[in-house]
């Protein structure tokens, strides 16, 4: 199992979070969804964004405090401040709250990439809403540990989100920046994004629930249960 943590030379302030080489996260700020998904055993962390947090029925700080009672993996939080100084202050506030689990999401703007360069030696950073290989190169050069490509939105707005994943995976080769496929809306889109080169996937709750099911599997299992025999059966 690969180990993904802070950038080389990172200070001990932010300890490594061990996640698998490929990870599936849930994209949600709903505490019940998060609990169910993280309880499945194969969902390793959670991504949030300001819109998801605005729709939640809990205050963000209460949500994150509750979340940490059952989530041991990475927790992605997107900064919302508009200046360099206030963003650094916000990053430190959220670091207090989430400690080693924090991954800071940043907008892919001049300010966002400058913040990424500043913070990435101490806190894993994830420029988000990435739509071009050029932005991916800048993220790589800014020391980002992840970058979030908006796959479904790119398909809707630009034509081919999966090709975008492929192109971005190519510019990230042999770098420490990992491609997180986001804005995924179906199980097929999720698996195709992985095949196109994504290292990690973040999925809405509905897709998390669908990932392990198939009607033909249900049919096969029904038959085993109805007509089969094992050690426990007489």
Binders of ligand E4P among residues 133 to 162 (CB under 6 A) are: 148, 150, 152-153
Q: Give the Cα-Cα-Cα angle 85, 91, 97 (nearest 5 degrees).
A: 145
The catalytic site residues sit at 105
Starting from the edge strand earliest in sequence, which strands make up the sheet with 45-47, in order?
125-127, 102-106, 75-78, 45-47, 23-27, 200-203, 178-182, 146-150
CB of 49 to ligand E4P, least distance (A): 4
User: Does the protein bind ligand E4P through residue 33 (CB under 6 A)?
Assistant: no
User: Does the protein bind ligand E4P through residue 114 (CB under 6 A)?
Assistant: no
Size of the site for ligand E4P (CB under 6 A): 11
User: Does the protein bind ligand E4P through residue 29 (CB under 6 A)?
Assistant: no
User: Does the protein bind ligand E4P through residue 63 (CB under 6 A)?
Assistant: no
User: Does the protein bind ligand E4P through residue 23 (CB under 6 A)?
Assistant: no
User: Does the protein bind ligand E4P through residue 79 (CB under 6 A)?
Assistant: no
Helix (H) or strand (E) holding 61: helix 60-67
Neighbours of 78 (CB within 10 A): 23
CB of 215 to ligand E4P, least distance (A): 26
User: Does the protein bind ligand E4P through residue 49 (CB under 6 A)?
Assistant: yes
Tell how strand 178-182 and strand 200-203 pair up: parallel
CB of 157 to ligand E4P, least distance (A): 10
CB of 170 to ligand E4P, least distance (A): 22
For the chain, state the CA radius of gyration: 19
Binding residue (CB under 6 A) for ligand E4P from 182, 190, 193, 208: 182
Binding residue (CB under 6 A) for ligand E4P from 183, 197, 198, 208: 183
Distance (Å, rounded) from C-alpha 100 to C-alpha 123?
8
With contact defined as beta carbons under 8 Å apart, do 71 and 46 qualify?
yes
* Distances, alpha carbon 194 to alpha carbons 107, 180, 198, in Å: 23, 9, 5
Chain residues that interact with ligand E4P, rule: CB under 6 A: 27, 47, 49, 128, 148, 150, 152-153, 182-183, 202
């Amino acid at each position: 199992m690969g180990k993904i943590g802070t950038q080389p030379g990172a200070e001990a302030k932010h300890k490594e979070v061990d996640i698998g080489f490929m990870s599936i996260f849930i994209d949600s700020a709903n505490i019940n969804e998060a609990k169910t998904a993280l309880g499945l055993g194969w969902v390793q962390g959670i991504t949030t964004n300001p819109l998801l947090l605005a729709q939640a029925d809990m205050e963000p700080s209460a949500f994150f405090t509750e979340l940490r009672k059952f989530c041991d993996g990475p927790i992605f939080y997107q900064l919302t401040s508009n200046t360099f100084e206030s963003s650094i202050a916000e990053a430190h506030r959220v670091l207090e709250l989430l400690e080693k689990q924090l991954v800071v999401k940043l907008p892919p703007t001049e300010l966002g990439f400058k913040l990424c360069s500043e913070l990435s030696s101490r806190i894993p950073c994830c420029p988000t809403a990435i739509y071009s290989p050029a932005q991916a190169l800048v993220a790589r050069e800014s020391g980002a540990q992840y970058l979030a490509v908006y796959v479904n939105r790119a398909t809707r707005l630009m034509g081919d989100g999966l090709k975008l994943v492929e192109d971005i995976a190519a510019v990230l080769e042999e770098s420490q920046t990992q491609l997180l496929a986001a804005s995924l809306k179906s199980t097929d889109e999720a698996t195709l994004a992985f095949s196109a080169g994504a290292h990690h996937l973040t999925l809405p709750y509905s897709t998390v629930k669908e990932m392990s099911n198939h009607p033909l599997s249900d049919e096969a299992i029904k038959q085993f249960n109805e007509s089969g025999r094992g050690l426990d059966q007489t």
